[in-house]
Amino acid sequence: KMGGPTVISTWKHGMPANEAAWNVLSKNGSALDAVEAGVRIPEADPEVRTVGYGGYPDRDGFVTLDACIMDEKEQCGSVAALQDIKHPISVARKVKEESPHVMLVGEGALNFALDMGFEKESLLTEASKSDWQDWKKDANYQPEINIENHDTIGMLALDADGNLSGACTTSGAAWKMHGRVGDSPLIGAGLFVDNEVGAAAATGLGEEVIRTCGSHLVVENMRHGDDPETACRKAVQRIVEKNESVENIQVGFIAVNKQGQYGGYSIQPGFDFAVYQSDENRLVHSNNWMS
């Protein structure tokens, strides 16, 4: 499908996030402002247990957040293992704009956020704390397909000027080891934008996305002529080829190109993405490798 301002984001929680992004795009705002405003919605929502406030903690009970943002000039900012700050995407944007670096982690990221005026607050809700206490009873670290521990929000936008930007934010895999960083804050893995070609984002088991440079691969596939869905399918295929079995692995990609064509693809069934285009916001069931 062609054209005009477009926003695409991962999972059902992408629907309200898209509304906020569209609010920016429809007033001729920038794709960069749109994706930041969009992903702040699930970041602040305690019912979204995989992003920001209310996200599941790591196995030691700490909520640690990963996020990155990339604009039409291919400028980027990122934070990883950030604690006690509700909007990591906005800290990532500050890293891009107010620091000489691309990525800050852990305590350094927190100190930078505090310097930038962000407030420190506890992100562990009673609901997530109680689920963590239940999990600890038999501490099983097997990834589970399509449940809430695979629910990053990745968002891509094309604005009225034809510029692309993207954002990606998550509390990471639930019950991860303390200090574990996933794909979501890594430029090229969880997110990649090339304003000449298109943009892509990933969700799911981050380790698999990192080892294949997933989002970068999707954008490069589009550069070589693939439409967005085909580009995503080939990145899924790469992951499938690198594993003896993908039975217990879910990864989903979304992509948009410079013309406003979009698509997604996942390993397992059950991956949805939200697309807002031509004044209509809708949830699309992604095609997948398994069926």
Under the binding rule (CB under 6 A), the answer on residue 128 touching ligand SD4 is: no
Binding mask 13-42 for ligand SD4 (x = CB under 6 A): ------------------------------
CA distances, 9 to each of 14, 20, 35, 36, 291 (Å): 5, 12, 9, 12, 22
- Listed residue (90, 89, 84, 127) closest to 106, CA to CA: 84
Tell me, what DSSP letter sits at residue 188? T
**Binding residue (CB under 6 A) for ligand SD4 from 36, 72, 151, 159:** 151
| Smaller CB separation from ligand SD4, 158 or 205 | 205
Active site residue 152: yes
For the CB of residue 30, give the shortest distance to ligand SD4 in the complex, in Å: 26
For the CB of residue 225, give the shortest distance to ligand SD4 in the complex, in Å: 28
For the sheet with 76-82, list strands across it.
Answer: 103-105, 76-82, 65-70, 164-170, 153-158, 6-10, 272-277, 280-285
Under the binding rule (CB under 6 A), the answer on residue 49 touching ligand SD4 is: no
Under the binding rule (CB under 6 A), the answer on residue 266 touching ligand SD4 is: no
**Binding residue (CB under 6 A) for ligand SD4 from 150, 216, 233, 238:** 150
For the CB of residue 252, give the shortest distance to ligand SD4 in the complex, in Å: 9
CB 47 within 8 A of CB 173: no
251 φ, ψ (degrees, to nearest 5): -140, 140
Under the binding rule (CB under 6 A), the answer on residue 205 touching ligand SD4 is: yes
Strand 65-70, strand 164-170: pairing: antiparallel
Q: Which stretch binds ligand SD4 (CB under 6 A): 28-36, 52-60, 177-185, 276-284?
A: 177-185
Q: Which stretch binds ligand SD4 (CB under 6 A): 12-20, 71-79, 145-153, 254-262?
A: 145-153
d(CA 202, CA 265) in angstroms, rounded, equals 10
For the CB of residue 101, give the shortest distance to ligand SD4 in the complex, in Å: 21
**Binding residue (CB under 6 A) for ligand SD4 from 173, 186, 197, 246:** 173
| Smaller CB separation from ligand SD4, 165 or 203 | 203
For the CB of residue 152, give the shortest distance to ligand SD4 in the complex, in Å: 4
| Smaller CB separation from ligand SD4, 24 or 65 | 65
Residue 265: CB atoms within 10 A of its CB come to 26
Q: What does the block give as tokens for 280?
A: 């209509």
d(CA 282, CA 52) in angstroms, rounded, equals 24
Name the active-site residue from 6, 10, 125, 152.
152
d(CA 49, CA 68) in angstroms, rounded, equals 19
Q: What does the block give as tokens for 182?
A: 């996933």
Query: For binding to ligand SD4 (CB under 6 A), which residues are involved?
Result: 149-152, 170, 172-173, 182-184, 203-206
Q: Would you name the residues annotated as active-site residues? A: 152
